[in-house]
Amino acid sequence: MLNLSVILEDSARRYPSKDAFIFMDTHVSFAQLNGAANQVANGLKALGIQKGDKVALNCLNLPYFPMVYFGILKAGAVVVPLSVLLKRDEVAYHLKDSEAKACFCFVGTPQLPMAEENYAGFQQIDSCEHFFVITARPDEPSPIAGTKTLGMLMAGQSPTLETAQTGAEDTAVIIYTSGTTGRPKGAELTHSNLLLNAILSTNLSDTDKDDTMLVVLPMFHIFAMTVLMNAGIYKGSTSVLLPRFDAEAVLGLMQKHKISVFAGVPTMYWGLLNYENEKFDLDEISQNLKVCVSGGASLPVKVLEDFEAKFRVQIIEGYGMSEGSPVVTFNHMDVGRKPGSIGTPVWGVEVKVVDEDGHEVPVGEKGELVYRGHNVMKGYYKKPEANAETLKNGWLHSGDVAIMDEDGFFYIVDRTKDMIIRGGLNVYPREVEETMMKHEAVSMVAVIGVPDEEMGEEIKACVVLKEGYALTEEELKAWTKDHIASYKYPRVIDFVDALPMSATGKILKKELRTMVKG
């Protein structure tokens, strides 16, 4: 038997009074977090929530997130984390698809009316019976008439509990993929998937109980959920929460709390690198930082090198996906690393690069990255056709184009679906982006394929320039053409102020393509 909540119960026993989470002036100890999670679990059981029932959770990076998350698990139920940016119809889709029986949602802000949108979605679904608003303070009333609050659910419930017994292979979390093709699918991750990935994450980043981590990546996303939240709770380290990325806020918290472990996506490193202000003591921040972790998308080598030079700390880059709980490969500190690579397989996971027939390709040749091991999901919830396509003979097919070098290090070339076929020749956007990022005036770039009558697809680059630089489309085209094969340089360049981003900081190429069609 295994329930992921054992990591919280263990740390509450070992470090009861130690800070588990800090948010602004609020400090929540491991014992307080465990007691609150027990109250949530008791409240859910009183409602009739049973082992295996699905419960949705939509919350910003606040201490309420782990309270409710572990409360759901302790009741034997399954957590369905939802993106805070979902609109009502999307909420309705997720609640219906996951067969959620209950939904918890943070009240939100005037700019992000989460509870309003979630409640409207909840009302569309008959099968979801309970809705709870997570208010800023437990004693506050719900702003939505006729709805209950998390505080009301917990009121009068015991802070002690005998945790529900679940199996290692029982589903703990259904995490929805971003749905870059078609509607989002729910990846079923087991208690074992998530526990083993949290444990190996602490080994990769060398995290221990004395570390203080900054969690700005959203905890509803598998990267922060496993590599930061669960890993930190398992080790007994302290996590400082920030609901939204802002370079100034991040640097301020790094300095104030002596942050030693930071994890982010490439756009966050870019934001920190380009923040120009002498408000903070970079020497002090750098001395405290032990390690930085990057994932979620490929980190441009130029950004990695410049960040490491400025902050004097190593960024270790890895690769993962929701379906892999998430970590698949990593640049291990004890094995060595190669900037630009996603490293080597993590403990207990096998990785290879295959052709369309599933045969392994020679070293240095492009193919699809596939993997198998303890991290592979049970499957997509109620999606047998998608499972047959993604899970073949025990191997999970990632949809990512990769190569392996002679030392066994893997490199992601691109997403299979992002590949541009121009005049019959394959062009990988990542390669073009890496090249263009080397121009002194270019700050950020996203390359996409656009329809073209003659070539089938043409290459378009959306470019953000560095402040104070001016550059024409023709100048940048000519420069890029000098640095890359002539069939690969972009024929169309758009200069933009910013690139569309997801809640997790990924560049939304889907939106860029939609803008082109429009």
Among 132, 156, 176, residue at a domain's last position: 176
Mark the ranges of the chain whose per-residue pLDDT is less than 50.
180, 518
Backbone angles phi and psi of 101, in degrees to 5: -95, -25
What's the domain range around 488? 419-517
Residue 387 lies in a domain: no
Residue 506 lies in a domain: yes
Residue 101 lies in a domain: yes
Residue 97 lies in a domain: yes
Q: How far is CA 437 from CA 304, 485, 508, 510, in A?
A: 12, 16, 18, 21
pLDDT at residue 179, as a whole number:
52
Residue 324 lies in a domain: no
pLDDT at residue 431, as a whole number:
82
User: CA angle, 456 as apex, 454 and 458 as ends, to 5°?
Assistant: 90
| Predicted TM-score (pTM) of this structure | 0.86
- In the chain, the number of structural domains is 2
For residue 507, the cross-strand partners are 501
How many whole angstroms from its chain centre is CA 107? 22
> Of 227, 188, 150, whose CA–CA distance to 382 is shortest?
188
What is the spatial distance between Cα 156 and Cα 39, in angstroms, rounded to a whole number? Answer: 8
Among 144, 176, 208, residue at a domain's last position: 176
Residue 142 lies in a domain: yes
Dihedral over Cα of 210, 213, 219, 223: its sign:
negative
Among 125, 151, 176, residue at a domain's last position: 176
Evaluate the omega torsion of the peptide bond into residue 326 and state whether it is cis, within 30 degrees of 0: yes
- The DSSP output letter for 102 is E
CATH number for the domain that contains residue 148 = 3.40.50.12780
What is the spatial distance between Cα 354 and Cα 278, in angstroms, rounded to a whole number? Answer: 49
